[in-house]
Chain A
C-alpha cells in the first residue's frame, strides 16, 4: 500500500466548474497535510496546508481533512484553464525534519 494514494487522472472539468481532487494516506501518525501544484516542466508550489479536521478556505481553494477516514481533498471553485496542472497531495509526521511524503499527483485539465 502506498503511503499517499492519488488517482493520476487526468481529471477533466469544464471552465467555471468545481474540481474535486482526492487523496488518502496510510500513516495515522501524519499531522500535517499539504497540496502542491506542479505545472508541466516546473517545480511544485505550495498552495494549501491544513492541520486540523474540517475545511480550510483560501480564495477559490478549499482543503478538507478527515483524519478518522485518513482522507484529504482539495476543491477548486470556478476552475480556470490556468488551473490545469498536476496537484500533489503530501503528508508529514510531526517533529524531526522536513520529510514530506508525496503522492504521484492528479493531473487536472480545465477545458475552456
Chain B
C-alpha cells in the first residue's frame, strides 16, 4: 500500500512569488485535504478536494487555491507569497469526505524570504 507522498520536501521563495505543492494520495483514498502548520502551532485546515471539486475551505484567502486530478492526486497553489506563509504544508488523504481520520504526507516546508 502506497502512502501519501508530497513534493517538494523543502523550498525557499521570496515574497510576491508563487508556489505549487504536489500530493499523491494513499491508494484507495478519494479525498485530499490540505493543512498549514506554522512553527509551534497545530495544523490549520486550508481546504478539501473530493471528486475533483473543492468542497470545504478554512479561513484562508483566495490566493490559496488547489486542484484535484482524476487519480485523486492534488496540487496546492499559493500566489503573492507573504512572509507569514512560511510553514509546513501538509497533505492528508482519507477515504470519505468527513471521517476526520487523516493520513498525512511528510509535508512540504516552505520558507518565504
Q: Which of B39-47, B61-69, B79-87 contacts A (4 or more CB under 8 A)?
A: B39-47
Within 8 A of B (CB), among A36-79: 36, 42-46, 49
Within 8 A of A (CB), among B1-57: 31, 33, 40-45, 48, 50, 55-56
Chain B interface extent, by class: 20 to 34
Q: Is A1 an interface residue (CB 8 A)?
A: no
A90 within 8 A of B: yes
Mask, B92-113, CB within 8 Å of A = 1, is 1010011111111111000000
Task: Find chain B residues with CB under 8 A from A97 CB.
Answer: 33, 48, 50, 55-56, 97-98
**Which residues of A line the B interface, CB within 8 A?**
4, 8, 32, 34, 36, 42-46, 49, 88, 90, 92, 94-105
How distant is the Cα of A66 from the Cα of B5 in the complex, in angstroms?
36
CB-based contact B104/A94 at 8 Å: no
Residue of B nearest to A30 (CB): B100
User: Are A105 and B42 in contact, with the CB atoms below 8 A?
Assistant: yes
